[in-house]
Amino acid sequence: MYTTLRLIRIGWRFSGEETLGMATIKDKQSAWYDTIPVPRMVQNQLGHLFELHIIDLDEKILKALHVILEKRDRRMWVVGTLAVFLLLHVRELDAGRNIYWRRYRDSGGFWIHPSMPTALIDEMVASCNSLLWHYHCSVGQQPLTLNWDSQKSMDLVDNNDTIVISMKALQSYVSKLKQDRLIGRKASDLYEDGNPNSVALTVSSLMFASINDSKVDDFH
């Protein structure tokens, strides 16, 4: 899912001899400099196919995640956490592509999506808030506060070494995020024109914040 999104963001260019009459971009100010991009219509069609693939994967992951969160199986804490993080991270990066179009007027007519940028971002915000709420209510912060060297904690996951090691790794990762103050940052403050990566961890990090601080409402 994440790989598919990256391919969409990279765009399409020719690498073989056939170029459909397209020439190498010589403008050094262009993001396509020294490459031969495929025609815009082909770009759009390929991008749409990949977007449909993301939708299909998203539905499958959400269906499996629903079962995990509903059962509240402690042995699935790690899988559930990673799944929610993946979904949130893909959503924030994907929506990050639309912030530019929300902020600036499209005088060149490049926007072709049937929905407006604001509507797409609002849909992402609603989806992420739902994911965050379900995660906090089902898993929450408790697993990250436990001492995973204690037998009592290990008993919670049937002494599964893989889960214990993974929980320790998650604790270390979250501790690093908090230390570097990377939890709860605002997309509206961090967004850089044309750089969706600039909003990474603005939404996905909220699953490691308190439930009261886990609402997305400033993605613009």
Query: What does the pLDDT look like over 37-59, one tens digit per residue?
Result: 889 889 889 989 999 999 999 99
Contact between residue 131 and residue 88 where contact means Cβ atoms under 8 Å apart: yes
Contact between residue 2 and residue 89 where contact means Cβ atoms under 8 Å apart: yes
How far apart CA 102 and CA 121 sit, in angstroms, is 9
pLDDT of 160-205, one tens digit each?
999 999 999 999 999 999 999 999 999 999 999 989 999 999 999 9
Q: Does pLDDT of 32 surpass 90? A: no
How far apart CA 49 and CA 42 sit, in angstroms, is 11
Mean pLDDT of 206-216: 95
pTM above 0.95, yes or no: no
Q: Let me know the angle formed at the C-alpha of 25 by 20 and 31, rounded to the nearest 5 degrees.
A: 115
Mean pLDDT of 58-72: 97
Sign of the alpha-carbon dihedral angle for 146, 149, 154, 160: positive
Name 173's Cβ contacts closer than 8 Å, sequence gap at least 6: none
How far apart CA 97 and CA 147 sit, in angstroms, is 40
Lowest mean pLDDT among 21-25, 85-89, 107-111, 180-184: 107-111
Of 146, 143, 168, nearest in space to 74 by CA: 143
